[in-house]
Amino acid sequence: MARRLSAEALGTLLLVTVVVGSGIAAQRLSPGDVGLQLLENSTATVLGLTVLILLFGPTSGAHFNPVVSLAGWFLGRRTHNGLTLSEVGAYTLAQVAGGIAGAVLANLMFGLPAVEISTTARTGSDLWLAEVVATTGLVALIFTLARTGRGALAAPAVGAYIGAAYWFTSSTSFANPAVTVGRVFSDTFAGIEPGSVPGFVAAQVVGAFLGVALVRWFHPDIDTPDTPGADTAARAVVPHATAPSGTERKSG
């Protein structure tokens, strides 16, 4: 469990470092051109997220996202194949801590104060709807890949989806409470003011449950014990082995 939590913390740290760091670089390289800044930021995020899933997936499942961990628990709860609720809590704490540390690291690498609280307001029903849409698609994609035995495609598929969602959502697809909290600590292109966080996180939680509902609708046997491959509900994002409570099993 210690290895899994450290993988989640470090993976989320590096993910936020990629997002915030590339945002700072984009501002400096392309001042005054917001469209080009977004292209640079999204490209770095696609590539970075893909690599991080490949790097940490075999250890922790490469969630880097509390709503993914929560969805894994919900989908696997009947057969006890997913995370336990206490493990979801531990994953969430590790992810949020990693997200904050990632913003600090990015700030320091670019010669900024370690902590700068963002002043970028991101609020309104349009942005909240965008976060619902972005998170719904992300959760549905991850667990559909798991259910259909295509977990090996998670890294490029999730990276591609987030890259696309940067552009087709008005919120630029945070889709992740830990990343949202982390981005509070960077007053840059990628930041979000503290007052905007509750609305974003609430929208992300709604999106997560809509994503779960889609998975259950299209794959109703996802957690049926006698269905071949049913334990794939637990394998988000990448299949990996754990040994909770002294028993070998697959978990996510």
What CATH code is carried by the domain that includes residue 88? 1.20.1080.10
Q: Is residue 250 part of a domain?
A: no
Residue 148 — very low, low, confident or very high, per pLDDT cuts 50/70/90?
Answer: confident
Q: Is residue 219 part of a domain?
A: yes
Grouping H, G, I as helix, E, B as strand and the rest as coil, residue 164 is: helix
Q: How far apart are CA 167 and CA 189, in angstroms?
A: 15
pLDDT beyond 60 at 233: no
Q: What's the whole-number mean pLDDT along residues 150-174?
A: 94
How much is the pTM? 0.87
The whole-chain average pLDDT of the chain stands at: 88
Instruction: Give residue-wise pLDDT tens across range 77-116.
Output: 766 677 889 999 999 999 999 999 999 999 999 999 999 9
Grouping H, G, I as helix, E, B as strand and the rest as coil, residue 244 is: helix
Structural domains of the chain, count: 1
Torsion of Cα atoms, 14 then 15 then 18 then 24, to 10°: -110
Predicted local confidence at residue 222, as pLDDT: 58
Instruction: Give residue-wise pLDDT tens across range 8-62.
Output: 999 999 999 999 999 999 999 999 899 999 999 999 999 999 999 999 999 999 9
Predicted local confidence at residue 56, as pLDDT: 95
Q: Is residue 101 part of a domain?
A: yes
Q: What's the whole-number mean pLDDT along residues 230-241?
A: 50
Does 246 or 20 have the greater pLDDT score? 20
Q: Which of 130, 162, 137 is nearest to 52 (CA)?
A: 162
Q: Is residue 251 part of a domain?
A: no
Q: Which residues does 74 contact at the CB level (< 8 Å), separation at least 6?
A: 82, 209, 212
Q: Is residue 247 part of a domain?
A: no
Predicted local confidence at residue 235, as pLDDT: 54
Q: Which amino acid is at 4?
A: R
97: part of which helix (H) or strand (E)?
Answer: helix 85-109
Q: Is residue 249 part of a domain?
A: no
Q: What's the whole-number mean pLDDT along residues 130-138?
A: 98
Q: What's the whole-number mean pLDDT along residues 160-170?
A: 96
Residue 14, domain extent:
2-241
